[in-house]
Amino acid sequence: MFRLYLPLLCLSLAFTAAAAEGPRSVTVGGSASLSAPPDMARISMAVIARHPALATAREQAGKVTADFLALCGRLGIPDAKIQTTGVRMQPEYRWDQQAGQQRLLGYLVQRELLVELDDLDLLGPLLEAAADAGVNQVSPPQLDSSARDSLHREALAAAARNARDNAAALAAALGARLGAVLSVQAQELGPMPPQPVMMRA
């Protein structure tokens, strides 16, 4: 379940005490969280190749990437949903104790990919395709909801109502009358990461 948190919404409101001591203000906090089933995912991957020859390492990384893209095409994933987010090439050395100097072992070529899925049913087949193609690294999928913007607005409104109710309760306890909102500050946390589940056989 995708959950959007707005943990703190601070309202500064004016209120007037019953004893007519003049306008005062109070700052209160409100919070809200809304959830929705995830319907999209982002998966970061990396293709890593090592070889004594830079050209060969580049060729190997390119072949794995091409094979993976071909498998994505068979799954019906549009090219626009697959991005190359970075390419890194660097020499790799090893310290030669006997010679007292660094020796070149070869070269590392790394291509980083980001795949966005609008259909979570393709998540399993995509991960299988990555393994079949020889993709070296696959990060845990980041689940999201296409309703994020509407959830954000609803959570803001709910947090504001919660803060206003807190202010009203505080003013009533002080024998005061609640006035207009003087300022608003919102602090947001993103979706909570999935928690590990323990199972007993």
pLDDT tens string 104-148: 999 999 999 999 999 999 999 999 999 999 999 999 999 988 888
Contacts of 161 (CB under 8 A, 6+ apart): 30
Q: What is the 3-state secondary structure (H, E, C) of 127-173?
A: HHHHHHHCCCEECCCEEECCCHHHHHHHHHHHHHHHHHHHHHHHHHH
Q: Show me where the domains of the chain are located.
A: 2-37+147-189, 40-144
What are the angstrom distances between the C-alpha of 24 and each of 12, 163, 168?
10, 17, 14
Question: Which residues face 138 on adjacent strands?
Answer: 45
Contacts of 125 (CB under 8 A, 6+ apart): 75
Q: Count of CB atoms within 10 A of residue 129's CB?
A: 22
Cβ contact 104:124 at 8 Å: no
Against a cut of 0.85, is the pTM above it? no
Nearest to 39 by CA among 137, 147, 128: 147
Q: Which tens digits make up the pLDDT trace of 32-91?
A: 877 888 899 999 999 999 999 999 999 999 999 999 999 999 999 999 999 988 899 999
Half-sphere CA count of 26, side-chain side, radius 13 A: 21
Alpha-carbon span 12 to 163, nearest angstrom: 10
Alpha-carbon span 137 to 16, nearest angstrom: 62
Question: Token match 């580049």: residue?
Answer: 58
CATH superfamily of the domain spanning 40-144:
Protein of unknown function (DUF541), domain 2 (3.30.70.2970)
Predicted confidence at residue 97, as pLDDT, reads 87
